Each structure stands twice: as structure tokens, then as C-alpha cells.
Amino acid sequence: MTVHIHPEVAAALADGRPVVALESTVYSLLGLPAPANREAFDRCIEAIRSGGATPAVTAIVDGVATVGLDENGVTRMLGADQKVAERDLGVAVARRWPLGVTTVAASLALAARAGINVFATGGIGGVHRDAHLTGDVSGDLAAIAEHPVITVCAGAKAFLDLARTLEDLETRRVPVLGWRTDELPAFYTRTSGLRLPHRVDTASDVVAVFRAHNELSSGGVLVCAPPPEATALPRHEVDEAISAALAEAEASGVRGAGVTPLVLGRIGAATEGRSIPANVALVANNAAVAAEIAVAFRS
């Protein structure tokens, strides 16, 4: 099964230049409402290019697993709402789905196949608060553990069970590194009250940990960067919005992959839209950190 790699990305990889892979679900209508999704996307691309790296967005386009989108692919991706998790990759390609946006897990699978080892997202999926009843644990965690890629995030999606998500990452032997912080960020908020096992202050330190991890063990490393201070939200406000949103999701019977879009929308409403600029700023910040790490990787 071939992965289509955009010529610009292929050239960068062949020359050993820095490349940052990006997922596509977060920029689609499932992740952010228009026009914030395009703003987030443009700011990520700009952050990666100005940081000296080449961006490579992953998606399923016309039934082809694609790493690096052209203009047409970007436009269609921004308007898409067909989510492709790692387990859906085979179905999406075999059945030639016109446009599937890839989750963290599916994107890591494609990035690893293309030979890209730095990846940026907003927040990873994780262990849901009711996982003891529903078993809902994102495939992102297994994918981060398995694929040899550095993932830069602002922690996990805020409405998950963050403590259990950290425990799960430990069980799967994923190194979790705080980017210039000792605490797990909670997506919209800079703090969660949960201490991280390790702190990193430089991109070269991240690369050294990743290389050593893949000599002695294997798989990915998770870098958690706090959202930028200017747009980050206070914890109590987010906590209240999340409780209300989860209650609504439960009452309306929404489960599984449908929960994220619904809850993100409700948090937006409850914070009078302030969750949106916070979300845009944090994905752009993660892209900038990832570019720095990708550059350190090649030097």
C-alpha cells in the first residue's frame, strides 16, 4: 500500500532537512469551527516554515493515504467531517473515501511510514472520564507508544480523565516530557495539578531522549507544552464548562468518536467563544515547538 508523499516533503526528507507532520482532524470541522480552523491551520504552517522546517499534513485524499497536501487537498480538508482513526486507515483506502481527516493515531502511522519523526497536534486523545464503564480509551495512546515519532501537544483533550491518561501512558512505557514545565498542561489551561515525570528545556534534550529511547526501548515520546499565556483560560471556568458539556453529551446519547466535536462546541459556547482563540494559539505554539525539535533533529 503506497503512501503519497508531496514532492516538497519528499525532497526535504531526501535532503535530510527538518519536516514536521501535522494531523488533519483538528483543522477540519470536527476540530474547530470555520473560520478559526483555517486560521489555526495557516498559523501552524507559518510557524513551521518560519522555524525552518517543512510542514507535512496527513489525510486520506481520493482514497490515497497522503503526507503533505496541495492547495486543493487543504481546502477540502478544512471542510471535511469524516474522521479516520488508525484502525480506519485500511477501510478508508480500500473503499476510496474521498476525504478523510486523520486523528493523532492515524497521522502517526502515516508519518512513521513516510520517515518523519516529529509531529504536532493540539491535544491528544486519552482515557475518558467514564472509561471504567464505557471502555473509551483513544487509540492515540497505543499509537504514540508504538510509532517512533515525537508528538508535541498541549496535553490531552481537557475533558478526559487526565490522571488516568498519564497512568496509561506509563503502562505503555511512553516517556512524557514537560516542555519548560513540571506540570501536565490541560489544553486550554496551563496547569492541571498533575506533575510530570520529566521536564525538558531545550529541543536538543528532547532529541537526545528520543534517540536513547529508541536504542534501549522503542516507540514515541510525548512532549507537553503549556498553551500560550495570553489566551489560556482559567481552570475553574473550563472545569465548569466541561462538566456541563459532558452531562449534555451523556443525556443526548452521543458516544465514541462523536463526543469530541460535541463537547468542543459546548465548551466554545460556555466560554463565550474564548476557547477558540485559546485553541488556535496552542496548536500554533505546538507547531513552533515541533519545528524547533525537528531542526534540532537534523543538526
Pick from 3, 29, 64, 257 the residue near ligand PSU by CB under 6 A: 257
Cβ 26 to ligand PSU, closest distance in Å? Answer: 5
Query: Interacting stretch for Mn ion, rule CB under 5 A, among 38-46, 61-69, 138-146, 179-187?
Result: 138-146
Residues with catalytic roles: 23, 157
* Residue 140 binds to Mn ion (criterion: CB under 5 A): no
For residue 35, whether the previous peptide bond is cis, meaning omega lies within 30 degrees of 0, is: yes
What CA–CA distance (Å, rounded) separates 62 from 161? 36
* Residue 268 binds to ligand PSU (criterion: CB under 6 A): no
Any idea what DSSP says for residue 87? G
Helix ranges (H only) for the chain are 7-14, 36-50, 71-78, 89-94, 104-114, 131-134, 139-146, 162-171, 203-216, 235-251, 259-270, 275-298
Pick from 23, 86, 88, 136 the residue near Mn ion by CB under 5 A: 136
Residues 6-65 close enough to bind ligand PSU by CB under 6 A: 23, 25-26, 30-31
What CA–CA distance (Å, rounded) separates 120 from 21? 6
Cβ–Cβ contacts within 10 Å for residue 29, how many? 16
Cβ 170 to Mn ion, closest distance in Å? Answer: 20
Distance from CA of residue 30 to its chain's centroid?
Answer: 13
Any idea what DSSP says for residue 229? T
Any idea what DSSP says for residue 53? -
Cβ 123 to ligand PSU, closest distance in Å? Answer: 4
Residue number with the smallest Cβ distance to Mn ion: 136
Query: Interacting stretch for Mn ion, rule CB under 5 A, among 76-84, 103-111, 130-138, 222-230?
Result: 130-138
Nearer to ligand PSU, 12 or 37 (CB): 37
Length of the chain: 299
* Residue 86 binds to Mn ion (criterion: CB under 5 A): no
Binding site for Mn ion (CB under 5 A): 136, 138
Binding site for ligand PSU (CB under 6 A): 23, 25-26, 30-31, 85, 103-104, 122-123, 125, 138-140, 157, 257, 260, 264
